[in-house]
Structure 1
């Protein structure tokens, strides 16, 4: 008799500093998949689910895809939406019983109205249904704020090791291999969590450069020890005001608690000794504009305060307003459904007044510009290559492409998506290398897409609910002490 393994997931990065809630429409506009549709979407994708399926299929294990729901990062998940997602997991799992194992795909930084530790809560629900003897194994995003509830409800969680997240399929395969060992070899993993008294500044979280490059090199070294299955580091998501906010370590061994404790302590000491390196320098909009004339083009400006991949609305205007007066050819993306609606009757090639609703250093307000409508498109495109997030299909809804009087090209969409794919430009006839400046509303994630075509990259400390200087945000629930807020 073969093994039967269920697959479930709720995946959301929730920014608690945003007033708008994430609701059912946000999941439906992204991915809310059931049964065979999960395999159809992700089997060949650069995504952890694809990696999990690859290993299970290779080993001849039957996978029962139950439900996977994912929405673009945003505000806290609405209560009724979370309850519907949780009901889907409960009902689907109960219909799938009996099972021999359960693969889980949380993000690790999900927050809902009823449950601030949303991922810990739904993982506990999974554990209650499958029982204590069924292995529960999965993955976490590198930006997870890992709680004891998440770890206690599972047998093994492996975390992405790259930012931008280009290793998701690999981590899915790693989780799949761990599940195989639990099923075939009857291994009972020992999983150890250490929550570090450290919050790493968002612009310092790139894993291809120091200081984080050294963390992952050391983790790989520790993983080579006999009996160690996995050494993972979650850099954390500072825009979720929850007690577990901050960086953490998960060590998984072959049932050896003493070894897990020792490896975790070594990893903890390595990171905390270097804590001052993780604070980072901040460059504002004015300083950035002063640098542009001397930089090799195209220049990629990363709008850190309006990081769509960090849950923001994407309507920050600080960089666009500054660039409009510089006489440079620039590109920027702005989700604004109302602006698209108001331009419904404008013919292509016609000048009209575009009114964007957004924010800058002075607060929220409209920005009116005379523009020429160059194109109106249905904003669907696909990304076939490995990119941050591992998604294949993107949908911006009805989208306008306009030219401004100051030399800019703006893409204004009905639906909000993060800048994880250069196909967002090239699929609609825009050549990224034809611009002097490209604005991407992100921090590290856009580098996988934009890095190959941009000669210079600047991370800009713009205003917004994902601003790099988190000392300007007001927390109520974070743990203390937490460096750099307090000395440790």
Structure 2
């Protein structure tokens, strides 16, 4: 009866976030807790479980899980050592297993270790030896190193951006691991390094040019020779030596085929690379454009450099400052991480007006706290569920503040803002505003 070991370590960091992340920024699970957390949820392990648990001859050995609560700054050396030790202790059980599935991210970084996933995989191989097959799934923003590839029998990556295929990625990973276990697959991987970093709307897989490359990868994966294929575009804010774009193809025993197909993906990317960059608009001009378009619908103001989902601190008040400076005629909705402002709101209570500052509490080199008079509209504990996958999030104590016509959802801690769930959880419908900051 085949026994499969399951473990998880997922975090995405921004090297430019001045606030380091620590072990308290992770949710940790051990043993059966991992299966209980993921079963029935739209996660990679949740997807894998639908395959593994449908096989009557499969037993599972869950090991250790460290899930970052949100993307954040570079992990401290001490905290990574704690995670690595817990991972290795749990991995001792994998020595008696027949196969291993790991759910990883790929854009993790720790002080003194720019490739934490590679380190964990190397330690896992040291513990279990070279013969037990390992399949690992990754975010397509992962930074794929040679060490990762060396220690994995096969890798699987998301096929969507924005990411909505967590569950499907787990399903693909589990099916591939079972193929290897049954002797139906002998994976060989080809990876093509592409010296480029891109960011912008053309990367949206449903509508952009990048989606064409992903569909090409899916056709390779669906081929009788293909086992897995995709693209890694890296997280531009994870400033580590191996940061780049990569194409990859995993084939069933045919290295030449894998190399040809991986090269085809790389060539397709390179041919349109100049179209994959998003021209940026200066802040002053952006607010002027939004003012000129007032009344035509909701303007979306994208503060990509402060995206908490990419590891930023989330305390940028730059757009709010410019809205007030230009006397923007409409009402804007925006999130800002500011624990002291939230504490002041809780002390005053709903309906009170408070004198406080907003933003600039964490990233002092880029932002300056903005003095405001704010009315407290709502207070909450900051717990909510993501819009599609229903994953629980915790923003800490949260206050809805009104500054002039603008509504600020001030949170005590950063959370990944993939969707509208934070707004909805606090009684705000983005479409009812003239502008929304994302």
TM-score by length of 1: 0.84
CA shift at 1:97, angstroms?
3.5
Give 1:378 deviation, angstroms. Answer: 1.1
In the TM superposition, what is the alpha-carbon distance from 1:225 to its structure 2 partner? Answer: 3.4
Q: Distance in 1 between the 2:274 and 2:10 partners?
A: 32
Structure-1 separation of matches of 2:157 and 2:194: 16
Partner of residue 401, structure 1: 400
Q: Describe the shift of the 1:206–1:429 C-alpha distance in structure 2 as closer, same or farther (beyond 3 A).
A: same
1:239 aligns with 237
Using a 3 Å threshold, how does the CA distance of structure 1 residues 377 and 105 change in structure 2: closer, same or farther?
same
Q: How many residues align?
A: 431
Matches within 5 A, 1:45-64: 45-60=41-56, 61-64=58-61
Aligned-partner Cα distance in 2 for 1:335–1:17: 16
- Structure 1 432/318 Cα, relative in aligned 2: closer, same or farther at 3 Å? same
Partners of 1:110 and 1:116 within 8 A in 2: yes
Shift of 1:408: 0.7
Deviation of residue 384 (structure 1)? 6.0
Map of 1:259-338 to 2, 5 A cutoff? 259-292=257-290, 293-294=292-293, 296-324=296-324, 325-338=327-340
* Partner residue, 1:380: 383
1:84-120 deviation per Cα after TM superposition (whole angstroms, max 9, x unaligned) = 1111111111135300111011111111112111111
Moved more, 354-363 or 365-374: 354-363
CA deviations on 1:338-384 (whole Å, 9 max, x unpaired) are 22223342032111112123189994311011111112111111236
Q: Residue 445 of structure 1 aligns with which residue? A: none
Asked whether the equivalents of residues 336 and 359 of structure 2 are also in contact (C-alpha less than 8 Å), the reply is: no
The aligned residue for residue 197 of structure 1 is 195
Local SS of the residue matching 2:286: helix
Shift of 1:227: 0.9
Shift of 1:422: 2.1
Equivalent in 172, 179, 182 of residue 181 of structure 1: 179
Contact kept, 8 Å, 1:50 with 1:169, in 2: the verdict is yes
Q: Which residue of 2 aligns with 1:478?
A: none
CA distance in 2, matches of 1:329, 1:41: 40
SS in 1 for 2:360: strand
Task: Give SS of 2:12's match.
Answer: coil
1:161 aligned residue (156, 159, 162): 159
SS of equivalent residue, structure 2 residue 323: helix
Q: Distance in 2 between matches of 1:42 and 1:316?
A: 33
1:176 is displaced (CA, Å) by 0.4
Query: Separation in 2 of the partners of 1:397 and 1:115?
Result: 29
TM-score by length of 2: 0.93
> Aligned equivalents of 1:311 and 1:39: distance in 2?
27
Contact 1:205 1:235 in 2 (8 A): no
Alpha carbon RMSD of aligned pairs, Å? Answer: 1.9
Pick one of 13, 33, 36 that aligns with 1:37: 33
Look up the match of 1:4.
3
CA contact (8 A) 1:53 1:63 kept: no
What is the rounded CA distance, in whole Å, between the counterparts of 1:433 and 1:384 in structure 2? 16
Checking the alignment, whether the CA contact within 8 Å between 1:6 and 1:63 is kept in structure 2 is yes
Unpaired runs of 5+ in structure 2?
A: none
The one of 104, 112, 115 equivalent to 2:113 is 115
Deviation at 1:202, TM superposition (A): 4.8
Match of 2:64 among 55, 67, 86: 67
Pick 1 or 2: higher relative contact order, CA cutoff 8 A, min separation 6. Answer: 1
Deviations 1:277-322 (A, max 9, x none): 2233112222221222326322322211111111110011111122
Is 1:367–2:364 an aligned residue pair?
no
Post-superposition Cα deviations, 1:195-250, rounded to whole Å, max 9, x if no partner, equal 11222235543222232122112223333433111211111111122221111012
SS in 1 for 2:394: strand
Whole-angstrom distance in 1 between the partners of 2:234 and 2:268? 17
1:127 aligned onto 2:129: no
Give the secondary structure class of the aligned counterpart of 2:131.
coil
CA distance in 1, matches of 2:28, 2:15: 22
Residue 471 of structure 1 corresponds to which residue in structure 2?
none
Q: Partners in 1 of 2:198 and 2:427 — Cα distance?
A: 38
Residue equivalent to 1:23: 22
- Specify whether residues 362 and 139 from structure 1 end up closer, same or farther in structure 2 by C-alpha distance, changes over 3 A only: closer
Q: 1:363 to 1:16 in 2, by over 3 A?
A: closer
Quote how far apart the aligned CAs of 1:76 are: 1.1
Residue 141 (structure 2) aligns with: 143
Deviates more, 1:161-170 or 1:91-100: 91-100
Higher mean alpha-carbon deviation, 201-210 vs 76-85, is at 201-210
SS of corresponding position for 1:312: coil
State the Cα deviation string for residues 374-413 of structure 1 (Å, max 9, x = none).
Answer: 1211111123623xxxx610111111111112x0111111
Kept after mapping to 2: 8 A contact 1:138/1:172: no
